[in-house]
């Protein structure tokens, strides 16, 4: 764990921290601006602070300089006003996507027709931001955004799931103490890889500053059941509902004609974890007639021909599915949102995710927001969307003796949060048309955890990995956050 020392810098948005003896802060920071907006039809006066928090190691040397963006309601009661700490995934990326498309006071519009070329990017007020019920702190982890590892820190530590999550936990402790928010309810929302970070942080902070809740959005906590390692047949069964939902969306699955998306997901999950999984477990020992019957049913459910399944041991990977479903039409689907389609790759072209066009404006709009709305005078081109060289990430062991064969029980990291705080509540949200982190593994993770069911809420949203790009899901997502942080009950499992 990183030790924390600090000296207070008084800003209008509260206290910011710098390590004692740290190098002089970059000229011009912190950047404090005053704003007013309407969120969920309520007027909120708030203070925006782009500021530094420097952490030190056990030897007192500065190890990392976090730069975060905090939106805090002016003249608030810290004892009852929740604080929501939010970050994206990667590893490792900045929080710009959640910041500029979902939760921040300004939002980038996303073309709602997946087939349209997309309008020029624009930024406008975000009336669905949850600033009406909570303050928001966007965390940029090591080497993302303006956050940088200092000479006293070691990249290999911060480029590991243990060090990455611990540094973010230490940041939260430092920020909370510096801003006098010890009594405030504290929540963490992580997206994609950020859900793994959030799971680790839930366990880490249970020892020092227990959280009141964690939101796993686009959850990747149980990656063993999400990614499709060869011979891990469970991962093919858990991922089946996503294939069925996507095939139904594109009108390629006759089995789902006239069914609601709720029925598609529920029925495909039940069959996938039952009859289909049993067939996969038998492998090539499955009798030929039974194998043919399973392949025929898969064709009707997923739109992929029975011949393909028979030639591939009754499975198809998510990437292959993205390439195969619309191949007869000369198209491929997006991995991050399979509603988006583009030209199928040829032997001389690279695979390009069609959803990329929806993500392209985020970084330039983030830079514009920093400079024009938040008064940042640092070179905004230095704001990194991604940490460099993160392909060296260390995933680490989690269960001790036994080596890597026992690793990656990341859901167990959340257990301590439930035990230490009887009010802790877990939210899990997944996009129906996401081919990266899909709906089935989220359900399976909950079923295999002994978490109190009255404190676990699962939601499925219309959309892909960033389901909040969909207008309806953006509202559902933010409404769920409001209910989650105020003690209410989020919406039903299904948004479609």
Specify if 492 maps to a domain: no
* Boundary of a domain, candidates 329, 354, 379: 354
Number of domains in the chain: 2
Same domain, 398 and 309: no
Same domain, 15 and 139: yes
What is the pLDDT, as a whole number, of residue 208? 97
Calpha distance 45→42 (Å, rounded)? 10
Specify if 301 maps to a domain: yes
What are the two backbone dihedrals, phi and then psi, of residue 89, each rounded to the nearest 5 degrees?
A: -120, -115
Calpha distance 268→243 (Å, rounded)? 9
Calpha distance 38→26 (Å, rounded)? 33
Residues 6+ apart with CB under 8 A from 285: none
What is the pLDDT, as a whole number, of residue 494? 64
Specify if 379 maps to a domain: yes
Tokens of 319: 């990437």
Same domain, 57 and 170: yes
Specify if 477 maps to a domain: yes
Residues 6+ apart with CB under 8 A from 278: none
What is the pLDDT, as a whole number, of residue 231? 83
Specify if 359 maps to a domain: no
Kindly list the distances between the CA atom of residue 426 and the CA atoms of 64, 454, 493, in Å, as whole numbers in the listed order: 29, 10, 14
For the entire predicted model, the pTM comes to 0.92
Same domain, 54 and 174: yes
User: How many Cα atoms sit within 13 Å of 212 on the Cβ side?
Assistant: 18
Same domain, 318 and 418: no
Determine how many CB atoms are found less than 10 A away from the CB of residue 95.
29
- Residue 310: which domain range? 232-354
Calpha distance 77→211 (Å, rounded)? 18
What is the pLDDT, as a whole number, of residue 401? 60
Same domain, 92 and 118: yes
pLDDT digits (tens, 9 = 90+) for 62-87: 999 999 999 999 998 988 999 999 99
What is the pLDDT, as a whole number, of residue 10? 26
Specify if 2 maps to a domain: no
Pairing type for strands 14-18 and 31-39 reads unpaired
On whether the CB atoms of residues 189 and 86 are closer than 8 A, the answer is: yes
Specify if 112 maps to a domain: yes
Same domain, 321 and 396: no
pLDDT digits (tens, 9 = 90+) for 304-334: 999 999 999 999 999 999 999 999 999 999 9
* Boundary of a domain, candidates 354, 383, 409: 354
- Between CA 74 and CA 198, with CA 477 as vertex, the angle to 5 degrees is 80
Same domain, 236 and 385: no
Q: Which residue has the tokens 């924390």?
A: 4
Determine how many CB atoms are found less than 10 A away from the CB of residue 399.
13
Calpha distance 440→430 (Å, rounded)? 9
Residues 6+ apart with CB under 8 A from 445: 219, 221, 222, 225, 411, 428
On whether the CB atoms of residues 377 and 50 are closer than 8 A, the answer is: no
The CATH number for 117's domain is 3.40.50.1820
* CA quadruple 213, 216, 220, 226: dihedral sign: positive
Same domain, 337 and 393: no
Specify if 303 maps to a domain: yes
> What is the SS3 assignment for 113?
coil
Same domain, 413 and 439: yes
Question: Left, alpha or beta for 349 (phi > 0: left; psi -120 to 50: alpha)?
Answer: beta
* CA quadruple 246, 249, 252, 254: dihedral sign: positive
pLDDT tens digits for the chain (496 residues)? 443 333 222 222 333 333 332 333 445 579 999 999 999 999 999 999 999 999 999 999 999 999 999 999 999 898 899 999 999 999 999 999 999 999 999 999 888 888 876 678 889 999 999 999 999 999 999 999 999 999 999 999 999 999 999 999 999 999 999 999 999 999 999 999 999 999 999 999 999 999 999 999 999 999 888 888 878 899 999 999 999 999 999 999 999 999 999 999 999 999 999 999 999 999 999 999 999 999 999 999 999 999 999 999 999 999 999 999 999 999 999 999 999 999 999 888 888 889 988 888 999 999 999 999 999 999 999 999 999 999 889 987 666 666 665 678 899 999 999 999 999 999 999 999 999 999 999 999 999 999 999 999 999 999 999 999 999 999 999 999 999 999 998 887 765 5
């Amino acid at each position: 764990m990183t030790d924390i020392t600090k000296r207070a810098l008084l800003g209008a948005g509260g206290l910011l921290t710098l390590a004692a003896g740290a190098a002089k802060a970059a000229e011009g920071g912190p950047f404090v601006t005053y704003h007013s907006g309407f969120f969920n039809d309520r007027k909120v006066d708030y203070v925006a602070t782009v500021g530094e928090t420097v952490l030190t190691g056990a030897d007192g040397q500065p190890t990392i300089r976090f730069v975060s963006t905090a939106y805090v309601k002016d003249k608030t009661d810290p004892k009852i006003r929740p604080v929501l700490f939010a970050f994206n995934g990667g590893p490792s990326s900045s929080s710009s996507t959640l910041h500029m498309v979902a939760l921040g006071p300004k939002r980038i519009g996303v073309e709602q027709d997946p087939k349209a070329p997309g309008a020029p990017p624009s930024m406008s007020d975000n009336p669905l931001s949850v600033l009406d019920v909570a303050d928001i702190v966007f965390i940029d982890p090591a080497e993302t955004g303006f956050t940088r590892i200092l000479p006293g820190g070691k990249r290999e530590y911060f480029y590991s799931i243990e060090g990455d999550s611990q540094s973010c936990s230490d940041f939260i402790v430092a920020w909370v103490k510096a801003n006098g928010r010890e009594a405030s309810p504290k929540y963490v929302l992580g997206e994609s890889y950020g859900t793994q970070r959030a799971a680790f942080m839930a366990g880490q902070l249970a020892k020092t500053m227990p959280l009141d809740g964690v939101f796993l959005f686009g959850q990747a906590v149980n990656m063993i059941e999400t990614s499709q390692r060869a011979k891990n047949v469970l991962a093919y069964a858990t991922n089946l509902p996503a294939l069925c939902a996507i095939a139904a969306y594109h009108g390629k699955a006759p089995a789902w004609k006239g069914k609601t998306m709720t029925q598609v997901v529920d029925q495909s999950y039940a069959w996938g974890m039952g009859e289909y999984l049993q067939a996969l477990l038998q492998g090539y020992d499955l009798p030929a007639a039974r194998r043919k019957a399973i392949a025929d049913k898969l064709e009707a459910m997923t739109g992929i021909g029975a011949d393909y399944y028979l030639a591939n041991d009754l499975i198809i990977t998510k990437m292959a599915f993205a390439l195969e479903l619309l191949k007869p039409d000369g198209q491929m689907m997006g991995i991050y949102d399979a509603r988006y389609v583009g030209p199928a790759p040829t032997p001389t072209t690279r695979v390009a995710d069609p959803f990329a066009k929806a993500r392209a404006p985020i970084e330039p709009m983030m830079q514009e927001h920093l400079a024009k709305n938040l008064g940042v005078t640092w070179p905004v081109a230095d704001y990194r969307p991604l940490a460099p060289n993160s392909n060296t990430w260390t995933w680490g062991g989690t269960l001790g003796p036994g080596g890597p064969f026992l690793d990656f029980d990341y859901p167990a990291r959340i257990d301590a949060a439930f035990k230490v705080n009887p009010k802790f509540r877990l939210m899990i949200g997944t996009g129906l048309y996401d081919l990266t982190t899909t709906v089935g593994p989220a359900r399976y993770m909950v079923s295999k955890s002994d978490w109190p069911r009255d404190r676990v809420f699962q939601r499925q949203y219309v959309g892909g990995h960033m389901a909040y790009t969909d207008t309806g899901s953006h509202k559902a997502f933010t409404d769920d956050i409001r209910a989650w942080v105020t003690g209410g009950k989020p919406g039903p499992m299904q948004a479609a």
